Structure 1
């Protein structure tokens, strides 16, 4: 009985480990990119069970242990960079010049959630320079507008389809545009933020739809949107930030491809996963809300904020402009296969990097 249960569990872990290796974009394959931490924990527990219950004098027992250990190591390869045992990809900020810092908060509010007071309290406590809300409709907009005295610059796109988006800023916004890059009802926001020092930062806020049985059968729409934005910012001399709920985990093939094609850095590397979804289920959490930035910045801090009733936790990040030290930072570098895969994913949708608004300020 023990052997049958263990062998079945090993078969499941092997299947879950091999599935994401496929380049197929169908949702039931791509969703196996998400639970790598959970699969690693399950593999660890299974190894303990194998050592306790299997007859270690049998060859088949050693085979099951070896296969499980291999799956565990493979899953760990993806998630260990998002732990404190890994070197930082982004340096700790040392500059004290507040005029060259920017603090950004992202919050997927969950449209039916009515705890606006909870979110507003977090905003007033942490005082972000810019905050972006996702899934905000006209009801949410009316209540967030009480912050307009403190955040006089804004971009607003209230929608009732769970893809509304709002940006509020204390800092001036220039050459802003709301676009529907891939789908007619899913917006993205693109703007130039002017720091107190006068330095200008190009920011793209995104919230593409996920692959799921209730959204899209495939991940093509999400992947194409991420990658055209990635290509549009690669190699820019202007400081760049891309943030939002990308409906993809930090360690997925697509997010890693986004990092390679954009050249942007992930401040979570070496610091933690900062899992933001699902706020109500500790055992089913992964990092869906992201902020990536160019080498121009170092990191003051990154933190996950308390829940305010949404299924997502908000995230607060403060970056410091430090071009000299930032130039020493290195992210992921694409190879020929990555370039080809990016082109293939972009070609699946009627969009190109030329369609992405490029704020000039």
Structure 2
């Protein structure tokens, strides 16, 4: 992730360095930063969870903070974990292996969806002629259900959604700008009429490319405000690309090269869609409705995964016992969910660390 100025504080911050570990050859810098291949001395065994570090920083006099995401090996988010699901290990240069950090002594805490994280959803609807003439009412009902499922019951500036639509024009039309107000989104959907479009064709690949640009622009905008963010692009269509302005390879290249914090979901309706293409575009998850009567159920299926994606980010903070002069130190975060476990390893520099912590 490209966060350069993650948080502005009066207190001094020391940036994390590249990760490492003590291994059998005595190389304290053997494991790359953010690696899920943690030191073998911990003997964790095969992992079923993947932890991805989004950002990390230290704050004097001795606080260490790591912002990370948890998925299973199929890429599904793992939301709703609490502090009891995590074990934290620390290793200094004089330690042969890692020592477990005491939660009480280190004031360790793990928090989901903190004030330093914003999540944005872009709902992108196909309003080409085939949808408007045959399944508009069902699409509106499904989209409203989606909004109500994804948006928090209590509005929060950390969770916002925008709605766009496309037809055959070379434009991604705005239906409702980014907002935390679910009622406003619902009203916009209810206001869709069958004569909204002037071009009956389908510019699916263009919609993929343009919505990716908007998602990445949002992430960059928040980055400029020292806020970590993620975006989910949810695309609905009942057919294939007919406008042919852009190629399938153009769209897939855009998806596959997108910022790592952009997730993709696709929803397909009917027998004219190309499921393989939609699965490739919806690389996070995809779902298909055989007929318009199944749309609400299918949208709800995706809404659960979009919500899970947003709630699978965690902030870990603790007061390290390491002090100035101890140099760089290794840190491992292990997560457990049911019978699954996984871990990630990183390191921090304790220069300037003293007693006490925020």
Q: Could you say whether these structures have the same fold, taking a TM-score greater than 0.5 normalized by the shorter chain as the test?
A: no
Structure of greater Rg: 2
Tell which has more relative contact order, 1 or 2 (C-alpha 8 A, sep 6+): 2
Q: TM-score, normalised by structure 1?
A: 0.32
Greater fraction strand:
2
* Greater helix proportion: 1
Q: TM-score, normalised by structure 2?
A: 0.32
